[in-house]
Structures are given as C-alpha cells and as structure tokens.
Structure 1
Amino acid sequence: MANFVKQEIKISCEDNYVLAATAYLPDKVKAAVVIGPATGIKRQFYNAFAEYLASNDFGVLTYDNRGIGQSIDGDIATHTASLQCWGQLDKPAAISSLKQLFPNTSYHLVGHSAGGQLIGLAKNATELSSIFNFASSSGQLRNMKLKDQFKSHFFMNMFIPFSNTVFGYTKSQWFGMGEPLPKQVAKQWQTWCNGSGYVKTAFNKTVFTHYYNELTMPALWVNAVDDFIATDENVRDMMSVSPNLAAKTLTLSPGDHNLKEIGHMAFFSRRANTLWPIALDWLNSHS
C-alpha cells in the first residue's frame, strides 16, 4: 500500500465562491480522481474510500458543494445554491483543482448520485478519461415501487415545499437524508425527480448550455438491487441524457458480497469495503 498525506484546501469557483476540500496526496500518482458527492452529503463521508484509493496510488480530491458542510457561506435560509450551480460552477472548479494538484496524468470522476448526474453541466467534463458512477440515476418517482413512490412523493412534493416555506430551507436531515439543503437545491431536486431525465427537464428552461452530448469516455454505472431510488429503470433514464458515453452497467446484490445492505449510500462506507475493488479495478483499467 502506498503512503499518502491528507491536506485541507480551498477551491475557488468561477464566481469566486470558495469550497472546502480535502486532497489525498500519494507518494507516486498513477492517476487522479475527483469524488462527486451526493445531494447534501459532506466530503468526510467519502474519507475511508478516498484513503483506499490514495493507498493504491491514486491522487484524490473530495469537496463540499456550496451550501453544504464547510462550504456554507452565510445563512442557509438565504443561500442561493442550486443543483444547477453545483454542476455548472462547483464541479468544473473541482476538476480544475484536481488537474492543478496532479498535473500530467489522467483524470477520473467517481460520482455518487448527484455527483454523477450533474457531470454534463461542467464545461471541462470532457477532460475526464473515465467515469465511475454509483447510485446515479434520474430518481424519477414513477419508476419506483408503489410503496417507495408514496414516501418519495411525500418528501419531494409535500415536505420540501412545506420546509422551504416555514424555515427558508429544507430540513432533509429530519429524514436521514444528509445535510440541510438550501431552498433552490431542494426545489430543483423536486422538479427534476418529478420529470424524466432528471436535469433534462431543465434543458432550454434554466439550462441553456450543457455538455452531456459531448461525453464519450468510458463510464460504469453501478447500482444496487436494494436501492429504491436508483432502480435499473432510473439508471437507464439518467444514462439516456448522455447518449454518446461508452457506458456499461453493473447491478450489485448485497448477498453476493456478504453484506446486509448496499442501498443508495453504503458503497462508500467502510463496512462495504469489499465492494471497493470494483471501483479500483475500473480506475486501474482506464488509467
């Protein structure tokens, strides 16, 4: 296993917003990986997985999207963050920072849920050599099982508007769904999951420039049979937004890996580290 050091850094976005980030710096760098976080998930959640990659000679960058974790500037109730600016401003800044930290190598995305969904909004996304997505799907409500549709409709279409109105932001932590969300993040999340193609619902409405059609690199889309959000149908729905990707899919079953659950989140937890070689093998084969 390679030696590495961790360094807390700042990432400056095109609009001068500053993001909190962590760089994992191995002694020698085979390739570099940016981990795109899921909606409302702090970068510390990916620490063990990032350390695993760094110990296998991959330079790694994790970061908090604006309005999340240590990237909150001001009061969350008045924060202007949106899913769209996470893709258009935060993600390209993270990719640029990755290239500055680790020059003259290949660059890869490990995207978790929204961290993979939003990649086609980043103007420098085509500079990536490969994409590994876990639980990245359109989250389309009508492609869920009926029992899951009920609770998802409640959260998306009742709780989000209620919480935004009463508190000025969405208290998603009440549902065990990560950090509190700025109002526009939750509002776009609601809108995009009610349509098909996730971000595609915003094309020519709020999104007038995107790069999904230009993505041609190899991509592996991984989901789990016990994830009620990233169902096979919703993964295919999200993949259709990037029609030119050289994409493959892999659906995991917890029992096949001696795990009780994988779901939407557990892939990156230390207790599911038996899954991590799947990502490592992908990155090794495309570096």
Structure 2
Amino acid sequence: MGRALLMDAALDDVFIDDISFPAVDGYSLTGTLFLPRGVKRHAVLINSATAVPRKVYRGFASYLAHRGCAVLTYDYRGIGGSRLPALVGYNQPKSLVGFEASMSDWAALDVTAAVAWMRERYHTLPLNYVGHSFGGQALGLIANNSEISRALFVASQAATWKLIPSPENYRVFVFMNFIGVPVAHLLGYAPGWLGIGEDLPKGVFLQGAKWVSSPRHLFDSRLPALANFAGYKGELRALTFSDDPWATRPAVELLCSGFTATEPEVLTVKPSDVGVKTIGHFGFFRPDHRDTLWRGVAEWIQGE
C-alpha cells in the first residue's frame, strides 16, 4: 500500500500526454510524453524491447519525469498504439498480414525519427537514451546517434543462441527455426500466442530469428547501418542481470563491442544485490526497484 501511494504521488507531480509523430517515411507513430511540473533538466527517450508495448515503461518514465526529465515512450510500427486499427470491429487492431516491417526498419525509420523529434523539441537539454533489449541494438543502427549524450542499456544484447545458457539455448534455436519461422511464413505474421509478447510483423520476427541463429548476431547481417555503431561517442552503461538467460554478460559485451568510439561500462546485477529473488529480462521496470535500481540509473543518466 505504501509503495502504491508513493507511485500515485509521483504521477500527480507529472504531466502525461499521448502524442503522435511521423516516422522518417511518414508512418504515424504513437507515443506518450511524461513531463515534470517544474524545471526540465534532461530529455530521455525510452526505446522498447521487441514485442513490448510502451505501457510497460510507464512507471519508470514517470519516475524520471518526477526527477526533472522530459521523457518519451513510443511504440514501433505494428506494435501497441502504432499498429493500424481495423476498419471494422470496435477497438480492434488491423491484421499484420502483409504489413511490411523489419527490425532494421524499426531502427532506421522509427527510432531515428524519435531521436530527431526529441532533439528538435528539447534542443537546449542533454538528450539521453534508454534501450531495453532491442532498443539498445537500435542505438548502433541509427545514423543520428551522435545526438545522444548518454545511453543506458537494460538487458540489451547480441543474444546469438550459443551465448544463451544450456538448455535454454537449444529450446530457443528449435523454437525460432522450427516453430516460429514456419508459423510466421504460414500466417503472414508472428502471433503473440507463440509466447513472444505482442503480435509481430513477419519481417521483424524473421530478421530477429536470423540474428539469433547467427554466430555474431546482427553483426553478421551485412547491414550498411552497422557502420553507424562507430558514430556513437557518448557515455554508455549496460546492465546485465545474472538471472537473465537472454542478456548474459557475454551477449551484452558482444553488443557493446560494436561501439568502438566509446568505452562501454558493463555492470552485472544479481537479484540479491537489490533484495529481490528475480529480475530477469523484464524485471528492471517493476516499481519495486524505485529506490534501488531506478534511483541509481537516474542519477547516472542525470550525471549526478
């Protein structure tokens, strides 16, 4: 009850507004802006994990806004509020069959636009970046990452299946290649009932499955956008959690190795370090960590 009251008090001190803004190609993206009632001292862009809607980050975004940050969360195309509505049926999303999108599109068209929108709107403030899982990968793929002063990665990794602990690695390899990929081809999209979170566009799932099955993940993809990794020169801190089977320290270090123009700091956190039993791939964003993990990263983001 006490924690809930603290969260309610924090929300009362924050202005929250749902917005839309255009991606690089004009596609309409939906986001939520969290603003402090007082002076804004930093701008923060929160970039989601794959198949995760922006609402998951609402508590953390509110916390940062309470501390004086202007914060934007948003959904990539085909996800959450950035998925087109159906023409018939009440409040139903349009089918993703035939919807063209890939993970590299998310970076080049959506993340790039979100960075530009925040940079233009808050041009006098330091612009900081929070990337959860895929959100961290995207920082290296965008051409305007030089606009970012500090980047915090939360369970962001280049999780090739061989860097996932056994037997989970074999389960992931089999699921991706012998269940997920055939279902995506059969249905024309990857349904959330596979256990992946939200429905995913076919191209997003297929590209992700290919990266997971490659020895060096996205670094084996030969994407021209890989050259953008070297453009990021800001501070970079990456958190890995000891009970996260995906973002293992080797997988996090592999992703960070692409940022050759800076010196990434990789920190391993055990659940016992913050007095909890589990954190895993998603647990950082639970409000339980308001006075531990959240406070620590907020102080780092704000240079305190």
TM-score scaled by length of structure 1 = 0.94
Q: Percent identity?
A: 29
Kept in 1, the 8 Å contact 2:143–2:231? The answer is no
Shift of 1:160: 1.6
Q: Distance in 2 between matches of 1:114 and 1:51?
A: 22
Kept in 2, the 8 Å contact 1:170–1:180? The answer is yes
Bigger mean CA offset, 206-215 vs 159-168: 206-215
* SS at structure 1 position matched to 2:16: strand
Bigger mean CA offset, 165-174 vs 251-260: 165-174
Summarize the alignment of residues 78-97 of structure 1 with structure 2, pairs less than 5 Å apart: 78-97=98-117
Summarize the alignment of residues 146-157 of structure 1 with structure 2, pairs less than 5 Å apart: 146-157=166-177
The residue that corresponds to 1:188 in the other structure is 207
Q: Distance in 1 between matches of 2:266 and 2:255?
A: 12
The residue that corresponds to 1:232 in the other structure is 249
Can you give the 5+ residue segments of structure 1 that lack an aligned partner in the other structure? none
The residue that corresponds to 2:302 in the other structure is 284
Tell me if 1:30 matches 2:41: yes
| Residues matched between the structures, number | 283
The residue that corresponds to 2:61 in the other structure is 50
Which of 12, 17, 26 aligns to 1:16? It is 26
Q: Distance in 1 between matches of 2:193 and 2:17?
A: 28
* SS at structure 1 position matched to 2:224: coil
Which of 178, 187, 190 aligns to 2:197? It is 178
Kept in 2, the 8 Å contact 1:197–1:240? The answer is no
Pair 188,252 (structure 1): closer, same or farther in 2 beyond 3 Å: same
Q: Distance in 1 between matches of 2:225 and 2:275?
A: 45
Shift of 1:196: 3.6
Summarize the alignment of residues 106-145 of structure 1 with structure 2, pairs less than 5 Å apart: 106-145=126-165
Kept in 2, the 8 Å contact 1:136–1:230? The answer is yes
Tell me if 1:242 matches 2:253: no
Kept in 1, the 8 Å contact 2:75–2:82? The answer is yes
Shift of 1:166: 2.4
Q: Distance in 2 between matches of 1:253 and 1:18?
A: 39
Shift of 1:16: 0.6
Q: Distance in 2 between matches of 1:150 and 1:42?
A: 27
Q: Distance in 2 between matches of 1:142 and 1:174?
A: 22
Pair 162,209 (structure 1): closer, same or farther in 2 beyond 3 Å: closer
Pair 96,119 (structure 1): closer, same or farther in 2 beyond 3 Å: same
Q: Deviations over 1:245-279 (max 9, x none)?
A: 22101111001111111100110122333311121
Q: Distance in 2 between matches of 1:127 and 1:235?
A: 23
- Amino acid in the other structure paired with 2:66: S
- Amino acid in the other structure paired with 2:207: Q
Structure number with bigger Rg = 2
The residue that corresponds to 1:76 in the other structure is 96
Computed over aligned residues only, the root mean square deviation of the Cα atoms, in angstroms, reads: 1.6
TM-score scaled by length of structure 2 = 0.89
Can you give the 5+ residue segments of structure 2 that lack an aligned partner in the other structure? 1-9, 85-93
* SS at structure 1 position matched to 2:39: coil
Which of 238, 251, 254 aligns to 2:268? It is 251
